[in-house]
Amino acid sequence: MTGFELDEKFLRSRRHAKWNMYKPDVIPAWVAEMDFALADPIRKAVAALSDQMDLGYPLREGGVAENAVGTAFSRRMKSLFGWDTDPKLVQPVADLVQGTFAPIMAFSEKGDGIVLQTPAYPPFYEAINTLARQLVANPLRDGADRYEIDFDALEASIGPRTRMVMLCNPQNPTGRVFSRAELERIGKIALAHDMIVVSDEIHSDLVHPGHEHIPFGSLSPELGARTITITSATKSFNIPGTRCAVLHFGTQELKDKFHERIPRRILGAPSIVGIDATIAAWDDSQPWLDEVLAYLTANRDHLARRVAADLPGVTFHKPEATYMAWLNCSGLKLDKPAQQFFLEEAKVGMSAGETFDPAYAHHARLNFATSRSILDEMIDRMAAAVARRGRSEAAA
């Protein structure tokens, strides 16, 4: 890394969604994408493809491309978590959301129930609703210092047609990293009710100090046999435009059952750019990520101090992972959704809480993966908007 101070003019000059969603007077803090420079190994890998004019089809015959991604995944899991995985049980896909839809299609029928801890990543709802499955919501409890799973409610909600748990760990948007005890309890419930577990672990290498990510599929062979892990390098290494993700199946039998209903051709395939960028990320870019994560942790702590000091009526639990703060703005007693208020009054564009759960319109998700100066400008604007509102109400 060459530093974390960023040129806003340069950020706005790029074509990606984050800085082009809103008008130029809005600071974007919505989509889960970082503003930082690429890791040098990734930049070199992508540049090499261009220099060699090597932008053709990846070699799929004999599983060459799939094996390259699968082998990189297995090396990464062993390096980070001590988890031994078989590269042959990896199915590369172009997109993680695609990897969310496909297991639901493969292992459930219309009308079947899918367990989901809420609030949740909006495409999970989209997958369940589009595929005509039934949402079995398991609302997280807002505890003293973190969100927690309500296991009694979870067990009570499971019916005879509940087929799957859609787990997100680390959890989006709350930033929880579930403990081994929590994961094992989910596993016990999954075994008791013969449910498949689809575990979205895309944020697993963005865990802040003091917390530990445990891959769900690593808990036991028995649970691994019913677990599909979905992940990607795109979130942690800031390369979402390269389009490469993976599904890892705990056993060959599970993978075979998946492909009985989901032909490989319907999954598409990662591009050669996505493959090479992913391998460069997982194999060679950990030093970059170490620096980034240290900066993100410092940003998280700085944000917590600023919110406590300058935004009365707004609170949040420090996320245990990710670079998203799930802001509870209910103390402001707004007459409109929190995201809408801060977009209109502060020109800060966060993610709307109600898209993660209709009950959370008083929340907004703020992306703090940017420079400290831009983060401070966001908080300054938000604090000014809250102060103006207070003065207006006092004068009324």
pLDDT means over runs of 10, the chain (396 residues): 79 91 96 96 96 83 79 98 98 93 98 99 98 99 96 97 99 99 99 99 98 99 99 97 96 98 90 95 98 98 99 98 99 98 99 99 99 98 96 79
Nearest-Å Rg of the Cα atoms of the chain is 21
Residue 268, pLDDT score: 82
Q: Which amino acid is at 197?
A: V
Residue 63, pLDDT score: 67
Count CA atoms within 13 Å of residue 283 on its CB side. 15
| Cα 300 from Cα 201, distance rounded (Å) | 21
| Cα 270 from Cα 279, distance rounded (Å) | 12
HEC secondary structure over 111-144: CCEEEEEECCCHHHHHHHHHCCCEEEEEECEECC
| Cα 209 from Cα 19, distance rounded (Å) | 29
DSSP 88: G
- 292 Cβ neighbours under 8 A, 6+ residues apart: 1, 34, 36
| Cα 368 from Cα 361, distance rounded (Å) | 20
Q: Which domains does the chain have, with CATH numbers?
A: 8-31+286-387 (3.90.1150.10), 44-284 (3.40.640.10)
Residue 61, pLDDT score: 59
HEC secondary structure over 207-247: ECCCCCCCCHHHCCHHHHCCEEEEECCCCCCCCHHHCCEEE
Q: Beta strand 196-200 with 227-231: parallel, antiparallel or unpaired? A: parallel
Residue 391, pLDDT score: 84
Q: Which amino acid is at 312?
A: P
Distance of CA 343 to the CA centre of its chain: 23
Q: Which amino acid is at 264?
A: R
Q: Which amino acid is at 263?
A: P
CB atoms within 10 A of CB 168: 23
Roughly what angle, to the nearest 10 degrees, separates helices 372-395 and 286-310? 20
Residue 363, pLDDT score: 99
Q: Where are the alpha helices (DSSP H) in the chain?
A: 8-13, 40-51, 64-81, 96-107, 122-130, 151-157, 180-192, 221-224, 252-261, 272-284, 286-310, 338-346, 372-395
| Cα 364 from Cα 164, distance rounded (Å) | 28
Residue 57, pLDDT score: 83
| Cα 378 from Cα 372, distance rounded (Å) | 10
| Cα 230 from Cα 263, distance rounded (Å) | 18
| Cα 128 from Cα 105, distance rounded (Å) | 10
**Taking Cα atoms as reference points, which of 30, 45, 101 lies closest to residue 348?**
30
For the chain, how long is the longest CA-to-CA vector?
Answer: 73
